[in-house]
Structure formats: structure tokens, C-alpha cells
Amino acid sequence: MGRNNKTGFTLIETIVAFAIIAIILVVALIGFNTISRVDLSAQGWNASDQAIENLIAQGGSGNDPDNQDKEVVLTIVTGGETFKITGDIRTYVDGGKSITVFAYVPRALPPG
């Protein structure tokens, strides 16, 4: 019997190798697409955050027509002392995202 000195892959081995590589590529492409979509969504949220932060920093009133600014007086009691702080509850909306904050507004306090 002679020795078989053939080297290389058989046809079946080559097909199996290509199939494994194709599966890995499909999984990688799906993962890349998901990461890309999440990144775009995060960028949109970051832009909304920045717009809302700018609205708050400018000191303007809220921009949500369904939640108009409401005047409030916060009473804080600590260590036997009472402090009153006047301000507004403001709601800001941008890109489907909203935030409600307390904004200090100095005003004359009601008696009592």
C-alpha cells in the first residue's frame, strides 16, 4: 500500500468552513446593526437632554402647554428653624422627553 501524501482540505471541509464563517458574519452584522440603532437613539436622547438643560439654564418658563408653571412655596423645617422658598414648578418638553423641575423665583411671601 502506498502512502497518501495529499495535503489540503476536502470539498466537505471547505463547505463547512465557509458555512461557519457565513454564520459568524451574519451574527456580527446583526450585532453591528443593533449597536448602530441604539447609538442613534442615544444621540437623540442626548440632544433632547441638552435642549432641556439649555431651557432650564436660560431661566425661561416651562414649555409644556399641558402643564403650565405653578407657583409654590416650599416650607422647610430643620433644627427648629423654618425656611420658606418661593418658586415655580416647571415642565420642559423636547423630542418626546419631559422633565419637571422646581425653579427658585424670589417673590413676596404670603402672610403667615
DSSP symbols for 1-34:
-------S--HHHHHHHHHHHHHHHHHHHHHHHH
- From the list 62, 80, 83, 82, the residue with the least C-alpha distance to 71 is 62
Q: What is the pTM of this model?
A: 0.47
- From the list 44, 61, 50, 65, the residue with the least C-alpha distance to 101 is 61
- pLDDT tens per residue, range 37-64: 888 888 877 887 787 777 777 766 677 7
The pLDDT of residue 1: 53
What's the rounded Cα separation, in Å, for the pair 21 and 62?
55
